[in-house]
Amino acid sequence: MFGPAVMNRAWIMFKSHPYISNVVGYTALFATADLIQQSMMGETLETGTMHKQDGVGQNTSIKRLPVPEDADTQNMNLYNPKVSQRHGIDWTQTARVALVGFCFHANLNYHWLRALEKMFPGGGTKKILIKVGLDQLIAAPTTISAFYIGLSTLEGAEDPLEDWRDKFWTSYKTGVVYWSTMQAVNFSLVPPVARTVYVGGAALIWTVFLCHFRQQKSNSLS
């Protein structure tokens, strides 16, 4: 599927238009992460739970029960996961994730990684450790905060900081372990021109985690 000719053209594009290639590539991967997370949630709901809205419009979850021998066939959707309503893709949510990724994360990472390379050019253990350390002290908390606050703001939340207060610290501690490894590889092996889209690839896995973690509160039983 991705032969040498395709890879060569992609590399030429990155070198000719580094900003557009990196930002668009990052945004596409960022939005894909939300689609993956929603698909995973859909499969979970299909086999394990049924969601409905309560009187105030909040999502609640009802676990499916084993089918009793005398069950009313008209209410089989409470027992049979194949009969219950399938959890579809919320494209509005994906659009919000893509907007946050494009307007903030992609652009921040592009300029931030270029600035790090200008301040500490080249490789070597000492420079790589400095870059990784600065990335985790400055960029990591900034991007995590932008994710939670940005999405809450776009959703019109009464308190845009609620998710951030509840989940920032756990997300940051998890991210330090993951991103320290990913960025060490980035700064040591990936050419500077392709580093933003590499971060986008690593962010695919990370954003699946963030999207899933962010949805846990609203999708849990009260």
Render pLDDT for 160-215 as a digit per residue (tens, 0 to 9): 999 999 999 999 999 999 999 999 999 999 988 888 889 988 988 998 998 888 87
Range of the domain at 147: 18-219
10 located within any domain: no
Query: Is 5 within the bounds of a domain?
Result: no
Number of domains in the chain: 1
> Does some domain include residue 194?
yes
Do the domain assignments include residue 7?
no
Is 0.85 surpassed by the pTM of this model? no
**For residues 187-220, b (16+ Cβ closer than 10 Å) or e, as one string?**
beebeeebbbbbbbebbbebbbebbbbbeeeebe
8 domain-assigned = no
Residue 5 has a pLDDT of 63
Residue 67's SS3 state is coil
